[in-house]
Structure 1
Amino acid sequence: MRLRNIPGAKETLQQHPAIMIQNPTQHKGKWNQLFNNDHPIYVEVGTGKGKFLVGMSKLYPDINFIGVEKYESVLVRALEHVNEQDQPNLKFLNEDVNDILTFFDVGEIDRFFINFTDPWPKNRHEKRRLTYKGFLTMYEQLLKKGGEVHFKTDNQGLFEYSLESFSGYGMSLHNVSLDLHRSGMKNNVKTEYEEKFSKKGMRIYRCEAKFKTGS
């Protein structure tokens, strides 16, 4: 799917420095100072238009949420859902997840969310999948001991691959659902894609993977 370019997107993001954090490397190891509290920090990689994190930040005001999204034109849409004054526990980074070790410190994060990421179905693109072992290594470094990765997708192939990847890395799996919306899970905040796909009757797959070790 081609992303529609929004003229002036970069400038729009820069006009909201309280929530669109510039130069995140300067906050490495000090994100709690930016939030001005010691609450847990949850990070969503590939946050898209931000619907999931906006909903989560409202539902859990005592948790700090950070969304990482590299496409400016997508992230601009997140601003449409946010009340910056009422949601001080929410920040966005216009950055590439491949650089995540440069703006978070070892053991600084409590949980990662991966929602409806690109499945990269071709074998030669395996290393681009956000549940590939190379990314898991980075998540493990940044998570506190026993930290978790929560994963949702509509793609059965990616889900099966991810379960194997998590298990092969030595992670333990919990709350594995092959049909999330029939599972009875409470407080499930939907993403834009999740709403779209579920309305079409498509299954949503979800799991929680926990590292046995950590920082």
Structure 2
Amino acid sequence: MRLRNVKYAKELLESYPNTVIQNPKKWAGKWKEIFGNDNPIELEIGCGKGKFIYEKAQNNKEINFIGVEKFDSVIVRALEKVMIEPLENLKLLRFDALEISEVFKDNEIQNIYLNFSDPWPKKRQAKRRLTSPTFLNSYLKILKPNGRIYLKTDNYGLFEYSMMMLNENDNFVIEDIMLDMYKNLPEDNVQTEFEIRFRELDKPIFYIRARLKGE
């Protein structure tokens, strides 16, 4: 899918520094200061246009949420939602997920959401998948003990790969797997833009919930 350039994106994002946090690396280990409280922090990597993370923040005011997206022209759509109805418990960050261990320190994050991530289907692209060993090793550092990873995807290849990588990593325990999550939909499920589209096409949504082992 070709990314449409939004000409005003960079300027608009920089105009809302209280929501779109600039230079996120300097806040590593200090995200509670950004939110001004000790509430748990949950993270969506690849938040896209922000429907999921915005609704999670709306519905769970006692939890802080951070949406991460690489592209200005995408995350600006998430910001536009916040502009209509500001949420104090939601922040947006622009950076490449490869840098995640530089943006968050040990045990800062309660849960991580990976919603319809790029499957990078070619074998040589495997290291780019958000459940590759490199990424999982970053997650186990930033997650709190017993913190969780939630994955939703329409791509069976990514689903299968993610199961394998999590099973091979002794630090994680897979708690739940669904080949079609809409046959037993979690009560607190929040749909993403892609999820709505795939449901309209009657495509199954694959689901994994994994937990980082406690201390």
Question: What are the ranges of 5 or more consecutive residues in structure 2 without an aligned counterpart?
Answer: none
Equivalent pairs counted in the alignment come to 214
> Unaligned stretches of 5+ in structure 1?
none
Q: Please give the per-residue CA displacement for 1:157-195, whole angstroms capped at 9, x wherever unaligned.
A: 110110111111122111211111221321210111001
Amino acid at match of 2:102: T
How many percent identity over aligned positions? 44
**Alignment-derived partner of residue 81 in structure 1:** 81
User: 1:19–1:84: 8 Å Cα contact kept in structure 2?
Assistant: no
**2:198 is the alignment partner of 1:197:** yes
| 2:28 aligned partner | 28
Residue 180 of structure 1: aligned partner: 181
Question: 1:43 touches 1:67 (CA, 8 Å); kept in 2?
Answer: yes
Structure-1 separation of matches of 2:103 and 2:174: 28
- Superposition RMSD in Å: 1.3
Partner SS, residue 13 of structure 1? helix
8 A contact 1:39–1:62 mirrored in 2: yes
Q: Compute the TM-score of the two structures, normalised by the length of structure 1.
A: 0.96
State the TM-score, normalized to the length of structure 2.
0.96
Measured against aligned partners, the alpha-carbon deviations of 1:82-111 in whole angstroms (never above 9, x if no partner) come to 257641000000111111111111111111
Report the secondary structure of 1:91's partner residue.
strand
Q: Look up the SS of the partner of 1:149 in the other structure.
A: strand
Secondary structure, counterpart of 1:81 in structure 2: helix
* Equivalent residue, structure 2, for 1:154: 154
The answer to whether the 8 Å contact 1:18/1:84 transfers is no
Q: Which moved more, 1:164-173 or 1:69-78?
A: 164-173
Hey, what's the Cα distance between the residues in 1 that align with 2:125 and 2:95? 20
Aligned-partner SS, 1:208: strand
CA distance in 2, matches of 1:21, 1:78: 13
Distance in 2 (CA, whole Å) between partners of 1:83 and 1:102 is 28
Which letter does structure 1 place at the counterpart of 2:177?
A: V
The superposition leaves residues 121-153 of structure 1 with CA deviations (integer Å, 9 ceiling, x where unpaired) of 110000000000110000001111122111110
SS in 2 for 1:201: coil
Structure 1 runs of 4+ off > 3 angstroms? 83-86
Q: Deviations over 1:189-209 (max 9, x none)?
A: 011100110111000111111
C-alpha distance in structure 1 between counterparts of 2:197 and 2:128, whole Å: 24
